[in-house]
Amino acid sequence: QIIMDLSVIICTFNRSSILEKTLQSFFDMDWDSVTCYELLVVDNHSGDNTKHIIQSFLQDHPNIIKYVYEEKTGLSHARNKGISQARGKIIAFADDDVDFDERWGQEILHTFSSYPDASCIGGKSKPIFAEGPPDWPKNIDVFYGDTGFGETTQYMEFPKYPFGLNMAFRKEVFSWVGVFNPKLGRCGNSLLSCEETELFYRINKHNLKTLYSHSIVLRHRIPAESTKPTWILDRCYWQGASEVVFD
């Protein structure tokens, strides 16, 4: 089995129209000629034409992209399936609604090389609002994947941790601390979360170091419906429910 420098995992559920743009952005990235990488797209039991979209990229990039199917609904199940099939020494995660900076992949590898004591790394995510940011009384960019850590690379002390749309791990981390807990994380249409909180809680218990890097950049596309008060209130409700389950 070929050992890769980097495995990128994108999990998706019934968002084929969004996914296509994300995959195109991935293949528009710049890579060093010596880098060996793969992209695993985990179809989490979608009912739309997700498989067709992925297969259309497979025709042009058969040695890079891999279609992975996970029947059990839930983001944690999908991520764990990706981990089980990843061949990379580094495993990175991105969401299915992002645009990658052209050097995103190489910056992940460069950062791990520069910080050999870091077991996990989180990147910078910029929300891009389709119809402008929400009209809301205070800053809620955290709900849209913005860690708010700015332009300084720094170690993250729990309870601060990377967000799931832009995070990477040395593969052995999952052997040491385990994988994502399926009792947490998005499942179907629920907004249950905290699966990353729980994972980084265990990572912290193992005294593994986590780094934030401002140079690992992607843009998170936010549709207009996700800026409406009804969505924001729903998101807040599920955040509260998630934290109870985590506790």
For residue 232, CA distances in Å to 127, 143, 201, 236 come to: 15, 8, 26, 6
Amino acid 193: pLDDT = 60
pLDDT in tens, 19-60: 999 999 999 999 999 999 999 999 998 989 999 999 999 999
Using 50 as the pLDDT threshold, list the residues of the chain that sit under it: none
pTM score: 0.91
* HEC profile of the chain: CCCEEEEEEEEECCCHHHHHHHHHHHHCCCCCCCCCEEEEEEECCCCCCHHHHHHHHHHHCCCCEEEEECCCCCHHHHHHHHHHHCCEEEEEEECCCEEECCCHHHHHHHHHHHCCCEEEEEEEEEEEECCCCCCCCCCCHHHHCCCCCCCCCEECCCCCCCCCCEEEEECHHHHHHCCCCCCCCCECCECCCCHHHHHHHHHHHCCCEEEEEEEEEEEEEECHHHHCHHHHHHHHHHHHHHHHHHC
- Note whether 104 and 123 are within 8 A (CB): yes
What is the model's pLDDT at position 120? 98
* Tokens linked to 124: 């910078």
Calpha distance 163→167 (Å, rounded): 6
